[in-house]
Amino acid sequence: MEILRKHYKSGDIIFCEGDNSDCGYLIEAGAIELSVIKKSKKIIISILEEGELFGEIALIDGKSRTATAIAMDDCTLFKVVPEHFQQRLEGSDPLVSMLVKILLSRVRDTHDLWLTDGEGIKSKNIRRLVDDENYQLLRKVARESVVAQSRLSQALEQKEFELHYQPIISLKTKELRGFEALIRWRKNGELVPPYQFIEILEKSGLIVPVGYWVVEQACQDFSHIKKFIRLIQKNPAKLFMSINVSGRQFTEADLIDRMKKIVNRTDILTEDIKLEITESALVHNTEDAVTILEQAKKDNFQLALDDFGTGFSSLSYLHKFPIDTLKIDRSFTVNMLNDDTSMRIVNSIIGLAEGLGLDIVSEGIETEQENKVMTGLECTYGQGYLFAKPMPMTELEVWLEDYLKKFNK
Ligand code: C2E
Ligand code: CA
Ligand code: CA
């Protein structure tokens, strides 16, 4: 493992102009002088102190150093390697990655121009990004992403999103217990599933306004659904409405406040709303997430951990979050009958949930056999095509009329 924190004595050279480069540096303590040689004379271009970053261009293009860095006194430097942020940069909006690349390349160009007073710089050098294959790919992706984002922003304005509702039932009694609201995009008459646009909404931040729209629409529809059910059943059971909240929404400090206000404008109570949050959203942002979830709990929202069991060391942090429900990821339901490991994981999740006093929903129950096994394991709730697919409101009414007749009180 590479040692990333290093000490330098006053006068030590950290790197020289022209050296190969592969990292940047963050100054933890001390001061650094950056200089260049111009017309055989040393010119100091900057004195940097604690907390500042230098050598950063190398992080993007890995080309040679454009200046010399010398420790001005005893320094501690933290080496910033491309892996520290390349993944984050690639994970961010392609337009942002493109901007960072362009800016750093322009800094290099300006530096070269200044150093040679404009002499000897060929136009090919000035536009060096044109030859960079990765950049060309990024440019294509960024362009597509801008087009998609503006189309999605238009979709929100023109009310092209719609919510479909999938029933969640008690596995023991088969009674209806709630619904999950799932977004779709009606694009030119065709229904586009969320996997084709949620990521773009998240990366662009559009998920924030779309998320508030989801809460509002789901509350209005839930209010309608409850009235409809009361026409069929005299004493309907208490139901919940599950709403998906993505990690990006968790960066909004007033998220819960705004959601509460939206819910309060309808005749739905916050205690009827179950916010579904994925494990990854919590793990990547634990401190803030705990604060937001505690506020949600204080405001009486129910909380579910979605896609539980996928890819994270879930158990170690579970007790930190004030959640009510675990949703076992569909991949376990699909595999448990022919894969021992999946079956063991399902078993442990159910045991764990029982121990912590949490409800469990198993997602993706498609067959009678899966239903039987999950019911046998005393999983609280089930959701899946065996019971019902996600449906638009009109279809849901037909389904409710038919399903609730079996439990008419
Ligand atoms: P999710 O939260 O895990 O939602 C469950 C997904 O499983 C839904 O896919 C649902 O249609 C599907 N599903 C349910 N039962 C079965 C089954 O028996 N078999 C199969 N094959 N699939 C089943 P959908 O509607 O395509 O949604 C995909 C994902 O998109 C959701 O996964 C959720 O992460 C995200 N999503 C949907 N609506 C919203 C939203 O309003 N906001 C946010 N942030 N994300 C949303
Ligand atoms: Ca969900
Ligand atoms: Ca899920």
**pLDDT tens for each residue of the chain, 409 residues long:** 466 889 999 999 999 999 998 899 999 999 999 999 988 899 999 999 999 999 988 877 778 898 999 999 999 999 988 887 777 777 677 788 888 878 887 887 788 788 777 665 555 455 566 667 777 888 888 888 888 889 999 999 999 999 999 999 999 999 999 999 999 999 999 999 999 999 999 988 999 999 999 999 999 999 999 999 999 998 899 999 999 999 889 889 999 999 999 999 999 999 999 999 988 787 777 778 889 999 999 999 999 999 888 866 556 677 888 999 999 999 999 999 999 998 998 999 899 899 889 999 999 999 999 999 999 999 999 999 999 999 999 999 999 999 998 876 5
Relative to the CA of 211, which ligand 1 atom is closest?
A: 42
Q: Which of helix, strand or coil describes residue 210? A: helix
**Could you give the CA distance from residue 168 to residue 409 in angstroms, rounded to a whole number?**
19
Q: Which of helix, strand or coil describes residue 145? A: helix
At 58 the pLDDT is: 80
**Could you give the CA distance from residue 112 to residue 119 in angstroms, rounded to a whole number?**
9
At 129 the pLDDT is: 64
Contact status, residue 193 vs residue 184, Cβ threshold 8 Å:
yes
At 132 the pLDDT is: 72
Take residue 59 and report the two structure tokens written for it: 């992080």
CA-proximal residue: ligand 1, atom 7 (nearest): 364
Relative to the CA of 307, which ligand 1 atom is closest?
A: 3
Relative to the CA of 327, which ligand 1 atom is closest?
A: 3
**Could you give the CA distance from residue 89 to residue 106 in angstroms, rounded to a whole number?**
18
Q: For ligand 1, is residue 364 a contact (CB within 6 Å)?
A: yes
**Could you give the CA distance from residue 391 to residue 202 in angstroms, rounded to a whole number?**
24
**Could you give the CA distance from residue 239 to residue 241 in angstroms, rounded to a whole number?**
7
Q: For ligand 1, is residue 244 a contact (CB within 6 Å)?
A: yes
At 120 the pLDDT is: 58
What residues flank ion ligand 3 with Cβ within 5 A? 306-307
CA-proximal residue: ligand 1, atom 37 (nearest): 182
At 311 the pLDDT is: 63
Distance (angstroms) between ligand 3 centre and the Cα of 333 equals 11
The phi, psi pair for 353, rounded to 5°, reads: -60, -40
**Could you give the CA distance from residue 52 to residue 77 in angstroms, rounded to a whole number?**
10
**Could you give the CA distance from residue 228 to residue 219 in angstroms, rounded to a whole number?**
14
**Could you give the CA distance from residue 119 to residue 190 in angstroms, rounded to a whole number?**
58
Q: For ligand 1, is residue 178 a contact (CB within 6 Å)?
A: no
Distance (angstroms) between ligand 1 centre and the Cα of 195 equals 8
The contacts of residue 379 (CB under 8 Å, 6+ apart) are 171, 328, 350, 360, 361, 362
**Could you give the CA distance from residue 9 to residue 323 in angstroms, rounded to a whole number?**
52
CA-proximal residue: ligand 1, atom 33 (nearest): 244
At 67 the pLDDT is: 92
Pocket test for ligand 1, best of 241, 244, 262, 396 (most atoms within 8 A of CB): 244
Q: For ligand 1, is residue 307 a contact (CB within 6 Å)?
A: yes
Take residue 21 and report the two structure tokens written for it: 């480069």
Distance (angstroms) between ligand 3 centre and the Cα of 306 equals 5
DSSP string covering 268-332: --GGGEEEEEEHHHHHTTHHHHHHHHHHHHHTT-EEEEEEETSSS-HHHHHTTS--SEEEE-HHH
Q: For ligand 1, is residue 182 a contact (CB within 6 Å)?
A: yes
CA-proximal residue: ligand 1, atom 22 (nearest): 364
Q: Is the CATH number of domain 3-85 3.40.50.300?
A: no
- Which ligand has the shortest distance to the CA of 195? 1
Residue 153's identity, in one-letter code, is S
CA-proximal residue: ligand 1, atom 43 (nearest): 244
Measured in whole angstroms, the distance separating CA 294 from the mean position of its chain's CA atoms is 20
Distance (angstroms) between ligand 2 centre and the Cα of 406 equals 27
Q: Is the CATH number of domain 148-407 3.20.20.450?
A: yes
38 sits in which H/E element:
strand 32-38
Distance (angstroms) between ligand 1 centre and the Cα of 244 equals 9
Q: For ligand 1, is residue 210 a contact (CB within 6 Å)?
A: no
